[in-house]
Amino acid sequence: MDRFLKKISDYIAVKCPLDRDALHLVALSGGADSVALLLSLRALGYRVEAAHCNFHLRGEESDRDEAFCKSLCESKGVTLHLAHFDTRAFASLRRMSIEMAARELRYDWFRRLAHDIGAADICVGHHLEDSAETVILNLVRGTGIHGLAGIQPLVGGIARPLLGCTRKEIEEYLHGVGQNYVVDSTNMEEDAQRNKIRLSVVPLLCSINTAAQNNIARTAEYVGEACRVFDAAMEQSVERIFVDGKINVSDLKQEISPEYVLYTILSRHSFSSAQAGDVFSRIDSSDTLEWQSSTHQLLLSRGVLILEEREKAPFADMKIPMEGRYVGQNGEVVAVSFEEATADFRASCLPFEATLDAEKVRFPLTLRRVADGDRFVPYGMRGSRLISDFLTDRRLNLFEKRRQLVLVDGEGRIVWVVGLRTDNRFAVTKATKRVVRIVHK
């Protein structure tokens, strides 16, 4: 018993630091692991409260577990928090497995509860075999090097003080202190992936080497340390390569692992690993290519990858019937005013301010996105040009072209390619008597 507590104490000191003066929330299922966690933390002098979830998935057994947790906490003088979930309904609504639904419900509630009671962290009862099983499961799924690091002792406010202990040590500790626990009957069924690994794969591996689980868990620790070194180097690469939402392809290719650098950047913006792989396979293309994630859009143009957030709503045309200040649905602000043209008047040179001959412009005006086939006569020129060609000459990328705004008068004539050039047909001349000033913000 004392040896078990010392092992946990040493593990906490080195791998899973817990604040001695803080409150810790223990996830209590009633199983051996969580019960041992609660008792050992109390025995080591930590201040704890417990939280139990009833997912109503196992009928009377679920209610039995809840009753056990109530009785245990009552006898130990530990505050217990309870939550009931309609897990099947939640899983159906979210279109996810029962297992994933229970996990999401559990951890969302734990985090809210920890915040409400002022707990420093959430302590869960994962042990050494859990980490080994996780490594095997992730290896089968193909989750990459971070998956091979298994379960980490302290991540995102989730602490695992028992991660250095085996299931056998946990059960021996509970037997030594005369503490019983409940057994989840579904742990002995092979209908879940993790159960299949626990009941079939692990015993097979242990028949090859009795220390298989220990060796896998120890290797996971090494991989975890290597991941920290790798992640630090990767962050430096990302900082070098990803500047102002752009990735220069030639610079990317100079990195030691360009494909993984690209994956790291794109995965943070909701792109899948398959999409990242497709992008990397085509980065030498001379074509303009585009990809979309749920939140962002990516463009390959002229040897540069351009990453931008997707618009939350399409641009709504903005009508401007007369003089005044107007605010559009997308937050666009347009101010229109009139003034007399004096002898010393000078047309505005500011990019987002246009001064036009008021007698030539027909109201109402419309602010909209540029459309295919739009033409205008650039200021200083005589012949008309397609705006698309004008924007290409200015080396605007596809995203910038799509966002380009134009101001159209009541006769459908484009009077201003906003921010770039006014139309020469509406230019202020010596004959101009009245000027309309339009400011876009």
Instruction: Name the token pair of 184.
Output: 């989840």
179-211 pLDDT, tens digit each: 999 987 555 444 578 888 888 898 999 999 999
User: By the 8 A CB rule, do 207 and 214 touch?
Assistant: no
Q: How far is CA 337 from the centre of its chain?
A: 45
For strand 246-248 and strand 304-309, is the pairing parallel, antiparallel, or unpaired?
antiparallel
For strand 289-292 and strand 242-243, is the pairing parallel, antiparallel, or unpaired?
unpaired
% of the chain at pLDDT higher than 90: 83
Give me the mean pLDDT over the 138-153 stretch: 87
Tell me which H or E stretch contains 293.
none
**Low-confidence winner among 51-55, 240-244, 344-348, 356-360 (lowest mean pLDDT):** 344-348
Give me the mean pLDDT over the 304-310 stretch: 97
Q: How far is CA 377 from the centre of its chain?
A: 45
Question: Cα separation of 153 and 163, whole Å?
Answer: 7
Mean pLDDT of the chain: 93
338, 341, 336, 261: which is closest to 305 by C-alpha? 261
Q: Which long-range contacts (CB under 8 A, 24 or more apart) does 84-90 make?
A: 84/53, 84/54, 84/56, 85/53, 85/54, 85/55, 85/56, 86/56, 87/55, 87/56, 87/57, 88/56, 88/57
% of the chain at pLDDT higher than 70: 98
39, 47, 32, 50: which is closest to 8 by C-alpha? 39
233-257 pLDDT, tens digit each: 999 999 999 999 999 999 999 999 9
- Residue-level pLDDT at 1: 59
* pLDDT of 176 above 80: yes
Question: Cα separation of 279 and 273, whole Å?
Answer: 10
Residue type, 254: Q
Any idea which residue has 């991989």 for tokens?
223
Give me the mean pLDDT over the 140-146 stretch: 83
Contacts of 81 (CB under 8 A, 6+ apart): 49, 50, 51, 52, 113, 117
Whole-prediction pTM value?
Answer: 0.69
